[in-house]
């Protein structure tokens, strides 16, 4: 099955949201590093973003296989 334009847009928006969230996490960690403060986000937080990306990918593949 080919994904519709609206489905593709929805997945794109979800991925853009995750990218923005990740970039904000990185920026805050850099700021805190500069201020000699402990990191706000740890490896597990970045791993959770990766898991959410993987979930989007799996859902897209599932729909494409229908």
3 token code pair: 């994904």
The DSSP output letter for 7 is: H
Report the predicted TM-score, pTM, of the whole model to 2 decimal places: 0.87
Number of H helices, E strands in the chain: 2, 0
28 token code pair: 């805050």
Is the pLDDT at 63 greater than 80? The verdict is yes
Q: Could you give the number of structural domains in the chain? A: 1
Nearest to 39 by CA among 24, 29, 26: 29
Q: Please tell me the predicted confidence (pLDDT) of residue 54.
A: 97
Per-residue pLDDT tens digits for 2-50: 888 999 999 999 999 999 999 999 999 999 999 999 999 999 999 999 9
CA 6 to chain centre: 19
Residue numbers of the domain that contains 20: 5-65
CA 65 – CA 43 distance, rounded (Å): 33
């Amino acid at each position: 099955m080919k994904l519709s334009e609206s489905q593709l847009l929805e997945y794109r928006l979800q991925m853009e949201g995750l990218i923005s969230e990740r970039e904000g996490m990185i920026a805050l960690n850099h700021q805190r590093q500069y201020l000699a403060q402990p990191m706000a986000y740890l490896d597990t937080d970045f791993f959770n973003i990766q898991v959410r990306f993987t979930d989007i990918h799996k859902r897209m593949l599932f729909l494409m296989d229908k």
